Amino acid sequence: MSVLDGVGVVGAGGEGRAVAAYLASLELPVHLYTRDPGAVAEIARRREIVATGALTGRFPLREVSADPAGLAGRAVVLVATVTTAYPEVAARLAPHLSPGQLVVLFSSKLCGSIEFAHVLATAGAPDVDVVETDALFAARPAGDAGVSVLGVKRWNLLSGSSPDAVARHAERLLGWFPMLEVAGNPVERGLHDFGAVAHVPIALANLGTIDRAEALLFYVEGVSARTVALLERTEAEFAAVAQAYGARLLPMTEVLDRYYGCAATSLLDALRTVEPYRTIAAPTSLDHRFLTEDIRSTLVPLQALARAAGVHTPVVDAAITIMSVLGGEDFRRTGRTLRRLGWDGLGHDGILRRLAGRGAAGHSAFGHNAA
């Protein structure tokens, strides 16, 4: 199966539309799949996406469909849905995938490819490769006809459910997305996520404002010289967990510089310098996916990995507890647990073996580290 058979993009929110438009700009045959055709009625009618901002133009699509059966004929399937929907999405796609296909997750959060591949296997899907990167586009839907692309990340990491999966497809994906670099393992990739470091701590510093749905520029007005300490402590805990799993976390100021370009030396200055962040408004509810997605898909698995490795994460622990109380939901139960990754009961050494691609026999390795 070749890319001449088409590239499927699953999800038609801001990221999905931006990914589809970008791939179409490379003259790839793009098929867009969505559960809500009404939300993209004009895109479907014209079979094109109108993009403005950092990516500008009118980009043709081969089709827009709500039927996942068509995915069987696509060489590459890119999933650009919210990460909390991965179990549902994987189970729904499993009957329609074909052996040898590549599934690429956009956003993914922490170990998303591990969870997605585990659900596919449990659902009886054929042997497909699953790899992951972060959301590469800061984008918002523009009605039912297009997408507004606020920014395109200049750098990010690529990993996957196995080292072999990454090795098989890295050349093609780095050709399409030259800003990508192969990560040491999925933990390294998943923890290089500035949003996961920042969203919940900033929300905790502005609980009343968000709960009252008052206007707030999230990154510019939401952090002060004092409350930035919450982000710095969270970053330190992310770094400690990364180290426990054989990875090194780049400083978040450097991550932001690699993302969008900013010469700031402090995290507070960086937040106020990055152009795409300057106009982003705070969520108007504590139940917004802007927050709950990072808790369920990054903080919960991070806490579980930390406990397996004997790493203390008091700020992350407190954030999960406070948001669980406020949301009336036990995120430690509903989030991305080790059981959902297929890692329940492995312990630290067992997880390290899985990350290295080692089973009872056989051995393979990921690519170079991000350092």
To the question of pTM greater than 0.85 for the whole model, the response is: yes
**Rounded mean pLDDT, 152-175:** 96
**Type of residue at 348:** H
Domains along the chain with CATH numbers: 3-185 (3.40.50.720), 191-355 (1.10.1040.10)
Give CA angle at 42 (37, 43), nearest 5°.
Answer: 75
Give CA angle at 108 (103, 110), nearest 5°.
Answer: 130
DSSP character at residue 356: T
- Beta bridge partners of residue 30, listed in sequence order: 7
Residue 359 pLDDT: 52
pLDDT surpassing 60 at residue 341: yes
Q: How do residues 67-111 score in pLDDT, each as one tens digit?
A: 999 999 999 999 999 999 999 999 999 999 999 999 999 999 999
Residue 363 pLDDT: 31
Confidence of residue 3 (pLDDT cuts 50, 70, 90): low
pLDDT surpassing 70 at residue 178: yes
Q: How do residues 12-54 score in pLDDT, each as one tens digit?
A: 999 999 999 999 999 999 999 999 999 999 999 999 999 999 9
Confidence of residue 369 (pLDDT cuts 50, 70, 90): very low
Three-state helix/strand/coil letters over 310-348? CCCCHHHHHHHHHHHHHHCCCHHHHCCCHHHHCCCCCHH
**Type of residue at 101:** Q
Segment holding 139, helix H or strand E: strand 137-142
Averaged confidence pLDDT in the chain: 93
Q: How do residues 192-234 score in pLDDT, each as one tens digit?
A: 999 999 999 999 999 999 999 999 999 999 999 999 999 999 9
Residue 357 pLDDT: 87
**Rounded mean pLDDT, 171-191:** 97
DSSP output for 8-22: EEE--SHHHHHHHHH
Close Cβ partners of 191 (under 8 Å, ≥ 6 residues apart): 110, 238, 239, 241, 242, 247, 249, 298, 302
Residue 180 CA to residue 154 CA, distance in Å, equals 8
Residue 2 pLDDT: 65
